[in-house]
Amino acid sequence: MAYTLRSGDFAAFLRRGLPATSLQTSGSPEAELAYHAVHDRLDVIQPHALDMTARAALEMIRRI
């Protein structure tokens, strides 16, 4: 999935002039199809991918 500055969950923040970013993993094809759809449920979250994304976010915050 590709996102532009006008799409994605962060877009509303950018429109208000607030700094925002988006971190995500490519995930499995099933997870990609479920993104913001009826099948977007907790049971399709991959704990390992969530952990890696959280660690990347924490490292980014530490470097700021």
CA–CA distance from 35 to each of 22, 26, 50, 56, 63 (Å)? 14, 11, 14, 21, 29
Q: Is residue 56 part of a domain?
A: yes
Identify the DSSP state of 17: T
pTM surpassing 0.85? no
30 is in which domain, residue-wise? 24-63
Q: How many domains does the structure of the chain reveal?
A: 1
Residue 12 falls inside a structural domain: no
Closest CA to 45 of 25, 64, 23: 25
The residue-averaged pLDDT of 26-43 equals 77
What confidence tier does 33 reach under pLDDT thresholds 50, 70, 90? confident
Q: Is residue 1 part of a domain?
A: no
On whether residue 18 sits in a domain, the answer given is: no
Whether 14 is covered by a domain: the verdict is no
In a domain, 5, yes or no: no
Residue 3 lies in a domain: no
Which H or E element spans position 57? Answer: helix 47-63
In a domain, 15, yes or no: no
